[in-house]
Amino acid sequence: MGDITAYYEIEKSILENNLYGVDINEDAVEIAKLSLWLRTASKGRELTKLADKIKCGNSLIDDKSVVDNAFVWEEEFSEVFESGGFDVVIGNPPYGAELSAKEWLKNRFIETSFGTIDSYKFFTQKAIELLSNNKVLGFIMPDSYLGKEYFKDLRVLAVDNFQNITNIKLGDDVFEDVNLPTAIMILHNKSKKNTMFNFLDISEKKDKELELYNEFITDIPSYIDTFIIKNSIIKDINNKILIDIYDQVMGVKVYQKGKGKPKQTSYEKDNDIFVSKIKFTENNYKYISQGIERYYYNNQNEYIQYGEWLAEPRKRIYFDSEKIIIREIINPRVFATYIKEPAIIKNISAVIIQKNNNFSIKYLLTLINSSLMTYYIYEQSPKSDNKTYPSFNSKLIKNIPIKNISPEEQIPYINYTNLMMKLNLQIVDTKQNFINELDLEKVPKKLQNFEELDFDDFVKEYKKTKKLKFADKLEERNFKNEWRSLFENDASQAQELQAQINATDKEIDNMVYELYGLSDDEIKIVERTS
């Protein structure tokens, strides 16, 4: 009984004297107080006093002329700052939050205002400012801070202020209803000159509750590369930017109430009146709304009535010229293709046309479809972390770094683009011819990729989809004999073409690495993260 009483007194003492908290939501503050009270409640004992320790306010803004609930830490917790600040700060800072007084925050937190503005960057800087000299910070937050270009200010802040940096990559599904992979960052100030990195990746493990401390790999050069060197790759590859030598725009926005001439109502979109499967008039143009792949596109046989009645019609030159189309969704990599014929492109893709005859549009396509450019776009795009809709923005595409080489030097890249377009069309035709033989209204994904199945698995999947039932073994044997030759022939052709595509992709990647002068270590970083 004495041990229990002693434990209670220790926990009660910690809550009363050592634990502090701030939240902008008053209900959250009251719930936190209640939860902490219940942890130490005991019959006959006085409740822990928390009113002066758990408070409500805007923990980022300390200027009452900016917001009414401004929180001045030094005044609210004066006893802490008389001793130099907090020894430990832990939390799950809000990220992607709508920020009031954004300009005030950018001026206040200059060190973390590089690139994309995100609330969790500001909270991290604020937390560091609240710490004492012998300090420990522990946050769980999106793992984008580990290597994204637009979070390099946060990494610099960590390296400049702490000697021991630990990161635990957790992956997805840590929190319900959160579509971003997360990580734990622990920063500890120790009296040593060189920064020590600790890194653990459990993102692929189903059980996140692990004995973590036994699994750390410390001071590994590859992780230091990821945390520091990584961003020099982007810096080094900068030469010309795309918009200097090409024109780029997002595609056409077809429908939006209140836009177009005359102004659209909800009727136009609800009835999809401008898009059809038939070319009715000369104003009907080929319309590409989806199906953009690497070096080819799936023709949906759609047409659009093009004119000022569209919500955002764009200039015709972008659609009449030969062009590159880049799909906005970049999962798992960048998807871009070349289209020569006139076609109207939907605004879920970027459209790039030539404006400088010294730079071929096909040279650019080879670069964009390379692993290096996938890496670059992922690292630069704030939207690439979104699990359900990883994408880029138009401004990013305009700033893609393009190596300035002569037309003669571009020829190998153009030849590779032509080869990849040819191979991809061949594999699409081969697969489609086989799929047509299946005579199915809806083809499941496994049968779309039939070349990845062995023959028995194909038969099993086809039987299930077609709902076939054999009267006896003889009928089943005859069915297999009928299909075996066609399946093996077409699957073999598709596999051979895919092997050629993969090998050519690798040759392109190596050529692009050499073009941009990447070292072996930098290539490893790109291939590990793209």
Please report, as a single letter, which amino acid is at residue 158.
A
Residue 227: its pLDDT value, please? 53
pLDDT band at 400 (very low <50, low <70, confident <90, very high): confident
- Read off the pLDDT of residues 416-459 as tens digits, 9 standing for 90 and up: 999 999 999 999 999 999 999 999 999 999 999 999 999 999 99
Phi–psi pair at 283, nearest 5 degrees? -80, 0
Judged against a pLDDT cut of 60, whether residue 207 lies above it is answered with no
Residue 440: its pLDDT value, please? 92
Domain 240-405 annotated CATH 3.90.220.10: yes
The three state secondary structure string of 354-386 is ECCCCCCHHHHHHHHCCHHHHHHHHHHCHHHHC
Residue 49: its pLDDT value, please? 66
Most confident range, picked from 127-136, 218-227, 262-271: 262-271
What is the DSSP annotation of 492-512?
A: HHHHHHHHHHHHHHHHHHHHH
Please report, as a single letter, which amino acid is at residue 149.
E
Overall average pLDDT of the 483-499 stretch: 96
Nearest to 360 by CA among 297, 416, 424: 416
Residue 210: its pLDDT value, please? 43
Integer Cα distance of 307 and 282 in angstroms: 11
- Read off the pLDDT of residues 173-192 as tens digits, 9 standing for 90 and up: 777 766 778 889 999 886 55
- Read off the pLDDT of residues 258-276 as tens digits, 9 standing for 90 and up: 999 999 999 999 999 999 9
Residue 81: its pLDDT value, please? 92
H or E stretch covering 344: strand 344-345
Please tell me whether residue 39 adopts helix, strand or coil conformation: helix
Superfamily of domain 58-219: Vaccinia Virus protein VP39 (3.40.50.150)
Residue 259: its pLDDT value, please? 94
pTM for this predicted structure:
0.67
- Read off the pLDDT of residues 57-101 as tens digits, 9 standing for 90 and up: 999 999 989 999 999 999 999 999 998 999 999 999 888 767 778
Between CA 282 and CA 288, with CA 283 as vertex, the angle to 5 degrees is 110
Cα 395 → chain centroid: 16
Overall average pLDDT of the 234-242 stretch: 66
